[in-house]
Chains A and B, each alone.
Chain A
Amino acid sequence: GKTYDYLFKLLLIGDSGVGKTCVLFRFSEDHFNSTFISTIGIDFKIRTIDLDGKKVKLQIWYSEIHDQHCKKTLYFSAHHILLVLHLTFIRFFSQSNADFKHSQHASSDVEKMVLGNKCDMTEKRQVSKEQGERLAIEYGIKFMETSAKQSLNVEEAFFTLARSIKAKMDNKMVSGSDSPHSNMTTIHVKASVKKTGFFGRFCSIL
């Protein structure tokens, strides 16, 4: 028989270099490498977790294809794609913001989450926890600070998200609506570190 009870497809989005690959590797293989090769193209990782005795298979996609059509394919295709927004704070108003807006257009069933990655780099931190949380409140989504390097909060983030998706789905099933795998879920991850000069100019919105 099947090896899982639920299948959730998540999509990680965010700017290049914010740490999508690292977060994913930390989650799926508990492994971190600071010189991971840059992601090109599209890939996914799988991990099956246990939630309340049920096996939940998480298929987490990430891509560096900036082709609009490809993005739409990922976001809206009939395979219950889960959007994950992974963004730097500064870029929240540019590329990732555009992605995020796409995701807004997606089904309202989409669960989203913002991860502020690289929280271990305290001396380079530029976005405070409060700022991130305020941002999350504004968009109505959860916010968590993570560090793939030190394995902080990565598991919790995915578990939380999976739990909320599952809860939603179970409610739906109870109320007798459509098929279990029609949800879309989103996680937004943003990195809170600026490394080079250009990002010295950024703004923080409170």
Chain B
Amino acid sequence: HRTCIADADKHENLLRLLKCQVKAIMEEAVTKKFVHEESTHVLRLCGTVELCFLDGLKKRVAGFLRYNKIAALFTKVGKVLPEVATLVANVEDLESNINKTNQADEARNSSSNSKKHLWIRVALTSKLLDQIAEHLVDNNKKYYESSSIMADPSRGKILSSMLVGPCALDFTKMKTHDHYWSDPPAGELLQRHRLHSRHGSPSSPGRRPALHFTPLRHHSSSDSIERGTSFRDYVESLHQNSKMMLLYGKNNVAVQPREDVGPIPGYLSLHQEASSMLIKWTPNQLMNTQEEDGDTSSYWEFAICVDVRDIVYLHCHQQLDKSGTLVLVGQDGVQWPPIRFPPGGHLLTFLSCIETGLLPHGHLDPPLWCEKGKGKVFPRLQRRSNRKSSIESKEATDFVFRVSSSSDSSSFDLMNPVSTISHLWKPPEPRRPTERTNGSKSSSRSSLKVLCDTMRRQIISRAFYGWLAHCRHLTTVRTHLSGMVHPDLMLPDEPTDATMGVNQTTWAELMQDGKVLVGSELMRLTYFGGVAHQLRHVVWAFLLGHYPPDSDVADRAAIDTRTKHQYELTMQQWMAVEDIINQVFPVCCRYPMFSIVTPYSLSLPHILYRYPIFSIVTPYSLSLPHILYLLRQQSSNLSDVFTLEEVREDAKYEVIHEVAQEDQAVRADSVPQEDTRSPESALREDDLIAQDDPVAQDEPVAQNDQVAQEAQVPEKDPVAQDDPVAQEAQVPEKDPVAQDDPVAQNDQVAQEAQVPRDDPVAQEAQVPEKDPVAQDDPVAQDDPVAQDDPVAQDDPVAQGDPVEPTAAIDFSFNFNPTQIDISFNPLATELLDSFALNLHRIDKDVQRCDRNHWYFSEEGNLTKLRNIMSCYVWLHLDVGYMQGMCDLAAPLLVVMDDELVYGCFVLIMERVGRNFPNGGAMDSHFANMRSLVQILDAELFEHMRKNGDFTHFYFSYRWFLLDFKRELSYDGDVFSVWERIWAANYCSSHHFVLFFALAMLQIYRDIILENDMDFTDIIKFFNEMAERHDASKLISLAQQLVAQVQQMIQK
């Protein structure tokens, strides 16, 4: 019976301990957002839980693993619960790993921490601990004696239910930077992560714990000692160590903690730390135990640890038997249990030690009397008293000492709740004047009201803070995320199971009379299950919106025809322009168009602005205005675009038409193959050459020769004619271009070609420049090529007779700025320029696009890609071609491989076009990512901010630009993800890409945090992981994230 009571007490104590620790952890989780899994709170909790689990454990359960009963227990449980079995396996791995690393690296002494309560800790972090506890309680007969806490009907249940809270938390393993490892590749990081964290914590986002608010109940005070895991540690702390100086130590000092418990002998010690003094009392039972034994846990309750700052009064009672009793009275008037000193003047010694320790900032009031030759004595009251040992007085004398600080006489304000509130936001400190937990409820309290007020204030403040944080959190969530997801949740299993996706069967079901009756169902099936590959080329057209869902076969055929027709039309248009460009801006330019020679080595702007003398050397018939124009074209991005007006008036320029000396040396052959006339004159000739003019177009040589002829005819060169000087100009004699030109044979052709065409053009040459389109010749109006033709009407320069081939002429001239009248039409020429530039970029990129893929190893397919790109760019010349567009079109080609591609590509570009530079969408993606991570994964966000702040998310630039095309492996993954993104527009969110990016981060977040990655590391990691991601996992994770946010918004 006695043992029953003792057990009950013990259990009660254990339970109380557990409650304190659970509460501490939950508080920490709320205030700090996440709890480190090796923090002292957690370790303490694990220690207590271990005690509970081991209490009254049946011997045969513990089995042969005497050293690790918990392991044995878990193994047994694992036989019943499969997830526990996994846990067991993980922990065993972990243990062996830790042991290995311990052997490998002695310098790291963190192993002791990582080994403490490993099993319980891992169970806790993998959220299985509460299930285990529940199982143990439910089946306690199997595992425990009837006297154990787990077998206790009420307490056992309480225990297991209390563990639910901590298990629901998410713990962090964030470690400090470790210089030991350098730059491991992504694969190794993955592997290491797998090794170290096999306890399978689900990488679930949304780590912010649900706000369980546990109001302050009685919680541990300064008395309850840090119940470390090892008794030995505590006992060791009683001795002198580097941190604490031992001022006094005495054994056999008895304390009676409660009325019903007799005085327990123990060890009293006085420790001095940096700024505080601690009075500690430990029962002997705790001092002497060498190993953890559940029975002594109750004695922890009785141990005392008091900071002298908490004490105001020391009541000293001397007994007749010369022993002394010391009662400590705290700030709130609560008394500690009396400490009984054995006879022999020990009380006095203790007091003098306190006094000494209090100096210089504090003192005892009244101070101990210092008697000469006798040391310290109690202060004389009325009569002189000898040393205690020889006291003759038979009266017991009582003294009350007040501990005060010398600097501030009123520092210890007994009723000072304000100072207590200032401690409010710190983690639980053992300094609050609240009730003592060593069973002293019954002891008298004089300041109960104050106590209650303080507690109430604390409770309210904490509740308010918690509530405020929660509300702010919700508001932020709503604001940022409400626009990102559709409000209604779409489920994978209603109305039917969608995980099969769109395959032959379901597609047949969807299609009725050739129509997709329920477009939303198609989207839903795709979103949750993807599309079978053989159906992709059809289904994608629906997904992208190319075919409206309620179109029937005839409709679709009509759409196809229309698309094809438009495509072909566009092709014709831009191909014509391309031909012109090829004539005007030839592919291979052997000579520089012109060189500017100055006696100074300066950059061009300098030359023009400041220095008046320079020469232009060009083998072609260019004059200064043209040169300036060309320069202006090239320097269009420069801030210092110069115009003719800015050229100095006294500038002396000369244009020398020859090949620059050094260039001559470089070029071996001198046959020009390009037309280097100014664009205007070239166009004037060519624009009216019908596209099917074989002579003009299909023989670039002939063209060039014809052109070259013009080069020799500067007088007739319409361009040059604006220059009054030029008329006297002559082609330089040394012009090797002219001389070697085998043009003569083609004279006739050229002339004929030229003569008729020039006339109508020439007539319109006078028309002022601004109007590129309107006044075209009637021929030109139907011809899309001619519409773009700038020259026909715009070039007042183009006066006079058509060019005729003549001999090479040398000309140099004195340039008179005032006579210049430059009036090219910038618009049309710019169009040509810009399209030419785009073609160049397209060619460069097409050559580099996915060349390792089987589809693009064929030239024909590359041409298809080029055509698509060119068509698109032709119709969107303001945007132009940008790197990345090829990557977006390529998968479409692989899947569809016909003219449908163009229509679908246009639809894709509508959606993602703004991601390209100057579109502005990329910035909003980054901003949204920032918010999402901040809200859904605060820990990761903190990490990103701390490590050099890469919350600008530039590492995800490629993800968003290409819709993850380069991150995923081509066949299969890219296609799956793309169709999910398109379906998601309808099903769940217009910003599915954001959630997919978030999923990318989440899947590897542990690795990121563990390895303390900064911007550099993240880039390296993701670039190396390209095409190695598990797409299906990412997809489902992203879908989960969307659903999660949807639910959050709904609440």
Interface residues in chain A, defined as those with a beta carbon under 8 Å from any beta carbon in chain B: 1-3, 16-17, 35-44, 46, 59, 64-67, 69-70, 73, 79, 90-91, 93-95, 97-98, 124-126, 128, 130, 134, 137-138, 194-206
Task: Report chain A residues within 8 Å CB of B1020.
Answer: 44
**A35 close to B847 (CB less than 8 A):** yes
Measured between beta carbons, the chain A residues less than 8 angstroms from B836 are 196-198
Interface stretch among B526-534, B805-813, B948-956, B1031-1039?
B948-956
Contacts of A39 in B (CB 8 A): 883
A125 to chain B: which residues have CB within 8 Å? Answer: 666
Nearest-neighbor residue (CB-CB) of B614 within chain A: A206
**In the complex, how many angstroms separate the beta carbon of A187 from the nearest chain B beta carbon?**
19
Known contacts A16-B883, A38-B845, A44-B1016: A203-B631 contact under CB 8 Å: yes
Which residues on the B side are within 8 Å of A2 (C-beta)? 179, 182
B886 — which chain A residues lie within 8 A by C-beta? Answer: 38
| Chain A, residue nearest B669 (CB) | A123
Q: Would you list 18 pairs from A and B whose C-beta atoms are within 8 A, ordered by A residue? A: A37-B848, A38-B849, A42-B954, A42-B955, A59-B1016, A66-B917, A73-B954, A93-B635, A138-B603, A195-B840, A196-B587, A196-B840, A197-B584, A197-B586, A197-B836, A197-B840, A198-B836, A200-B587
* Identity of the chain A residue whose Cβ is nearest the Cβ of B578 in the assembled complex: A197
Check A73–B883 contact: CB distance below 8 A: no
Residues in A with CB closer than 8 Å to B601 are 134, 137-138, 206
Q: Is the CB of B883 within 8 A of A199?
A: no
CA distance A198 to B676 in the complex (A): 11
A134 to B600, CA, bound (A): 11
- B848 x A203 contact (CB < 8 A): no
Q: Contact: A41 with B958, CB < 8 Å? A: yes
Which of B210-218, B591-599, B985-993 lies at the interface with chain A?
B591-599
Would you list which residues of chain B between 770 and 799 have a CB under 8 Å from chain A? none
A98 lies within 8 A of B851 (CB): no
Question: Closest CB of chain B to A7's CB: distance in Å?
Answer: 10
B589: Cβ under 8 A from any A Cβ: yes
Contact present for A17 and B593 (CB under 8 Å): no
Query: Are the C-beta atoms of B587 and A197 separated by less than 8 Å?
Result: yes
Report if B382 contacts A (CB, 8 A): no
Residues in A with CB closer than 8 Å to B849 are 37-38
In the bound complex, what is the Cα–Cα distance between A200 and B587 (angstroms)?
7
Instruction: Choose among A44, A94, A199 the residue that contacts B589 (Cβ–Cβ < 8 A).
Output: A199
Q: Does B176 contact A (CB under 8 A)?
A: no
A97 and B641 CA atoms in complex are apart in Å by 13
- Known contacts A93-B635, A203-B592: A198-B840 contact under CB 8 Å: yes
Residues from 556 to 605 in B contacting A, C-beta threshold 8 Å: 581-582, 584-589, 592-598, 601-604
Cβ proximity bits B899-925 to A, threshold 8 Å, 1 near / 0 not = 000000000000000000100001100
Residues in A neighbouring B843, C-beta threshold 8 A: 196
Q: Which of B183, B596, B676, B837 contacts A206 (CB 8 A)?
A: B596
> Would B634 and A201 count as touching, CB distance under 8 A?
yes
Known A37-B849, A95-B637, A206-B597; contact A198-B666, beta-carbon cutoff 8 A: no
Question: Is A40 touching B952 in the complex (CB atoms < 8 A)?
Answer: no
Q: Which residue of A lies closest to B587 (CB)?
A: A197
Inter-chain contact B666/A128, CB cutoff 8 Å: yes
User: In the complex, which residues of chain B have a beta carbon less than 8 angstroms from the beta carbon of A197?
Assistant: 581-582, 584-587, 589, 674, 836, 840
User: Given the known A-B contacts A43-B1023, A196-B839, are A94 and B183 also in contact in the complex, defined by CB atoms under 8 Å?
Assistant: no
A1 to chain B, nearest CB (A): 8
Give the most central of B582, B676, B848: most A CB within 10 Å. B848
Establish whether residues A204 and B595, one from each chain, have CB atoms under 8 Å apart when the complex forms: yes
- Give 1 or 0 for each of B430-462: 1 = CB within 8 Å of chain A CB: 000000000000000000000000000000000
Give the docked Cα–Cα distance between A66 and B635 (Å): 17
Q: Decide yes or no: A42 and B957 within 8 Å by CB, A200-B585, A203-B594 being known contacts.
A: yes
Interface residues, chain B, with chain A CB atoms under 8 Å away: 179, 182-183, 581-582, 584-589, 592-598, 601-604, 627, 630-631, 633-638, 662-663, 666, 674, 676, 833, 836-837, 839-841, 843-845, 847-852, 883-884, 886-887, 917, 922-923, 948, 952, 954-955, 957-958, 961-962, 966, 1015-1016, 1019-1020, 1023
Please determine whether B948 and A198 come into contact, CB atoms closer than 8 angstroms. no
In contact, B958 and A40 (Cβ under 8 angstroms): yes
Closest partner residue, chain A, to B665 (CB atom): A128
| B638 in contact with A35 (CB, 8 Å) | no
User: Does the CB pair B966–A126 fall under 8 Å?
Assistant: no
Give the residue name and chain of the B residue nearest to A16 (CB): B883
Contact status of A40 and B966, CB under 8 A, knowing A35-B847, A196-B840, A198-B837: yes
The residue of chain A having its C-beta at the shortest distance from the C-beta of B883 within the complex is A38
Known: A35-B851, A98-B638. A203 touches B1016 (CB 8 A): no
Q: Residue among A41, A69, A91, A97 with the most chain B CB within 10 A?
A: A41
A124 to B586, CA, bound (A): 13
Neighbouring B residues of A202 by C-beta, 8 Å: 592-593, 634
Q: Measured between alpha carbons, how far is A2 from B177 in the docked complex, in Å?
A: 13
Known: A138-B601, A194-B589, A201-B593. A65 touches B633 (CB 8 A): no
Beta-carbon contact of A205 and B604 below 8 Å: yes
Q: Check B957 against A41 for contact (C-beta < 8 Å).
A: yes
Q: Are A64 and B883 in contact (CB under 8 A)?
A: yes
Closest to A33 in B: B851
Given contacts A93-B635, A194-B588, A196-B587, 16 further A-B contacts (CB under 8 A): A16-B841, A39-B883, A40-B966, A41-B957, A43-B1023, A44-B1019, A44-B1020, A94-B634, A94-B635, A124-B588, A137-B601, A194-B589, A197-B586, A198-B833, A198-B837, A200-B585
Question: Within the assembled complex, what's the spacing in Å between the Cα atoms of A199 and B955?
Answer: 33
Closest 4 CB pairs of A and B: A197-B585, A200-B589, A41-B958, A35-B851
- CB closest residue in chain A, given B586: A197
Residues of A within 8 A of B848 (CB): 35-38
Give the chain B neighbours of A41 by CB distance below 8 A: 954-955, 957-958, 961
Tell me whether A43 and B839 are in contact in the complex, defined as CB-CB below 8 angstroms, given that A126-B592, A128-B662, A199-B589 are known contacts.
Answer: no
Q: Which chain B residues lie closer than 8 Å to A65 at the CB level? A: 917, 954, 957
Contact yes or no, A40 B596, CB < 8 A: no
| Bound-complex Cα distance A93 to B633 (A) | 10
Bound-complex Cα distance A132 to B264 (A): 94
Using Cβ atoms and an 8 Å threshold, which residues of chain A touch B637? 94-95, 97-98
For the complex, give the distance between the alpha carbons of A93 and B593 in Å.
16
Pair A94/B598 contact, Cβ less than 8 Å: no
Query: Closest Cβ of chain B: how far from A12's Cβ, in Å?
Result: 15
Q: What is the distance, in angstroms, from A204's C-beta to the closest C-beta of chain B?
A: 5
CB distance from A24 to the nearest CB of B (A): 13
B residues near A205, Cβ cutoff 8 Å = 596, 603-604
Contact A203 B957 (CB under 8 A): no
Provide the bound-state CA to CA distance between A44 and B1021, in Å.
Answer: 11
Residue in A1, A37, A46, A91 whose Cβ sees the most chain B Cβ within 10 Å: A37
Q: Separation in Å of the B385 CB from the closest CB of chain A?
A: 68
Q: How far is the CB of B186 from chain A (nearest CB, A)?
A: 13
A203 touches B595 (CB 8 A): yes
B833 partner residues in chain A, CB cutoff 8 A? 198
- Determine the distance from Cα of A126 to Cα of B591 in the docked complex, in whole angstroms: 7
Residue of B nearest to A79 (CB): B948
In the bound assembly, the distance between CA atoms of A134 and B884 in angstroms comes to 36
Closest to A41 in B: B958
Given the complex, which residues of B lie within 8 Å of A40, measured CB to CB? 883-884, 887, 957-958, 961-962, 966
